[in-house]
Amino acid sequence: MALLGMVLLLLLAGVLPSSGHMFPFPPSTSDCVKAHQVCLADPQCEALYRGLELCAADAAFSALGEQVASECLERQDALLAKHPSLLTCKCQRGSRKEKRCLRIYWRVRLLPGNEEPEVSPYDDTLTDSRLASLVAASSLQLDGENQCLKAAQDCGLFEKCGSLRSEYVLACTKPHSGTNRCNQNKCHRFLRRFLERVPEEYSMGLLFCPCTNALCGERRRKTIVPSCSYQVADGVQPNCLHQQSFCRRDDTCRSRLADFLSNCQPSHLTASGCLKDSTGLCLRAYAGLIGTIMTPNYISNSSADVSLWCNCEGSGNQWPDCLKLQHLFTDNRCLRNSINRIGSPKLLPSDTTQLPGPRPSPLVQEDELHSSNHLPDLSNNVMDSDEEEELAQALEEEPEEDNQFDVIQLYSEKATVSSLGAPGTGGAESPIFGCASPALLLVLLLSASLNWG
């Protein structure tokens, strides 16, 4: 006790180093919104930031002239020298402030050339420990079972997943007013909403369910309603570099593409095939592209190969750059290993994260749903009243074959206590006829022997 008191006295007196110096941990990455607020408190910093906003607005329409570009770079250097936190700040994927944060992140970074790789604006330090949820399907794999159908049923049992999935299916299959084509922008918006709000163990299960036959592969390929989200109505593929150029002029798409290029870089030096040696980060980055102009998808029902909906025709002397962009999807060992790893019982040796236990049975899920799960906040719902009525009708009616998608009913409509215990539904058996029967018989025998005694 005396020794402990002496150590505390020395700490307070400054003789011994504090815990921050004894155990030097790296400082947490600051949020760009907070860094921007600090900048606005300084008139000089605010003026430099406003100037960079004008530079970014001009660069979004056309390439900056040599003199203008030089002035913009000077402002950028002066701003980052005065407030370096704007250079190191990051954003949180799926947060309410994400769009505002990304806008700040890119305003202090001018559009780079094609040869200069961009750094992901997202902070993965807080989510890296949760990457085990991406491979949870491997602990639930059953021989001979259609994993994509099971993933869709699991989503239907979870009210939030089923509701948001029905929303994007309706948005991607409803014809645009006055035409027979879908509204691709609206379809993309609802897809992003689904992937950002639904837990990854459900959304990743739908996107990357392992398949051994064409029927399962077709369901997996049609998960994102590719007739609207992936392809264009006239069937003509655009140039990949043109797609990338348009993407870089939208803060969200630019961020998702930078995240993919950063986290899915292939490497022959790691067991996972990824430069960052994390298949989970690559899967999350790939899923982040879905719902943007750079939406990828499976190219057939018989393989897990993916590609962008674009080609390299008309690339001219930029043909090698275009092929390089294409090969990041079609010939990327990091991405291929990441997708194939989902559902595989043999984990790659480089992954040190532990798998979570199996999800609770549907009966336990039912109790949790009644107590904790709610529908999405109506204040953030982007549907109008007419679309809500059509969504209700779509859930009651059978989907047409033209929609190329099977709508899974919501939990409250499909999962009942009686059906959950039925054979083939994945529910738990009745406790009366399960493992409780021997215990009940033993209690009766003991009570009878006591009465006889």
CATH value at residue 210 = 1.10.220.110
Integer Cα distance of 191 and 65 in angstroms:
38
Q: Would you state the pLDDT for residue 343?
A: 55
Integer Cα distance of 35 and 39 in angstroms:
6
Q: Which residues of 358-386 are buried (b: 16+ CB within 10 A; e: fewer)?
A: ebeebeebbeebeeeeeebeeeeeebeee
Does the CA dihedral 342-345-348-354 come out positive or negative? Answer: positive
| Domain count within the chain | 2
Q: Are residues 134 and 103 in the same domain?
A: no
Amino acid identity at 303: S
Q: Would you state the pLDDT for residue 66?
A: 81
Q: Would you state the pLDDT for residue 93?
A: 87
Integer Cα distance of 284 and 312 in angstroms:
26
Integer Cα distance of 77 and 92 in angstroms:
25
The answer to the question of residue 224 being in a domain is: yes
Q: Would you state the pLDDT for residue 56?
A: 83
Is residue 304 a contact partner of residue 336, using CB atoms and an 8 Å limit? yes
The answer to the question of residue 1 being in a domain is: no
- Helices of type H across 123-239: 147-157, 159-173, 184-197, 200-207, 214-221, 226-229
Is residue 311 a contact partner of residue 237, using CB atoms and an 8 Å limit? yes
Q: Are residues 135 and 210 in the same domain?
A: yes
Q: Are residues 229 and 96 in the same domain?
A: no
Q: Would you state the pLDDT for residue 196?
A: 93
The answer to the question of residue 25 being in a domain is: no
- Using N-to-C axis directions, what is the helix angle for 98-107 and 43-61, rounded to 10°? 90
Integer Cα distance of 338 and 325 in angstroms:
18
Interacting residues of 324 by C-beta distance below 8 A, sequence separation 6+: none
Answer left, alpha or beta for residue 294, where phi above 0 means left and psi between -120 and 50 means alpha. alpha
- Using N-to-C axis directions, what is the helix angle for 32-40 and 43-61, rounded to 10°? 120
Q: Which residue has the tokens 């392809």?
A: 231
Instruction: Select from 185, 225, 163, 162 the least CA-distant residue to 404.
Output: 225
Q: Are residues 58 and 169 in the same domain?
A: no
Is residue 105 a contact partner of residue 121, using CB atoms and an 8 Å limit? yes
Q: Would you state the pLDDT for residue 162?
A: 96
Is residue 240 a contact partner of residue 319, using CB atoms and an 8 Å limit? no
Q: Are residues 91 and 218 in the same domain?
A: no
Q: Are residues 95 and 133 in the same domain?
A: no
> Which residue, of 341, 361, 394, is where some domain finishes?
341
Integer Cα distance of 137 and 101 in angstroms:
33
The answer to the question of residue 192 being in a domain is: yes
Q: Are residues 132 and 102 in the same domain?
A: no
> Which residue, of 319, 341, 363, is where some domain finishes?
341
Q: Would you state the pLDDT for residue 356?
A: 38
The answer to the question of residue 401 being in a domain is: no
The answer to the question of residue 353 being in a domain is: no
The answer to the question of residue 380 being in a domain is: no
> Which residue, of 312, 341, 370, is where some domain finishes?
341
Instruction: List, in sequence order, every beta strand (DSSP E) within 324-382.
Output: none
Integer Cα distance of 260 and 117 in angstroms:
11
Tell me which residue range forms the domain holding 142.
128-341
Average pLDDT per consecutive 10 residues, the chain (453 residues; last block may be shorter): 45 40 43 92 91 83 79 87 89 91 90 64 68 48 78 94 96 88 94 95 93 93 95 84 92 95 94 91 95 96 94 94 96 94 48 38 39 36 44 43 41 35 38 45 57 51
Q: Are residues 199 and 54 in the same domain?
A: no
Q: Are residues 81 and 144 in the same domain?
A: no
Integer Cα distance of 248 and 258 in angstroms:
9
Task: Name the token pair of 453.
Answer: 């005694």
Q: Are residues 291 and 144 in the same domain?
A: yes
Q: Are residues 63 and 169 in the same domain?
A: no
The answer to the question of residue 290 being in a domain is: yes
Integer Cα distance of 271 and 334 in angstroms:
10
Q: Are residues 49 and 143 in the same domain?
A: no
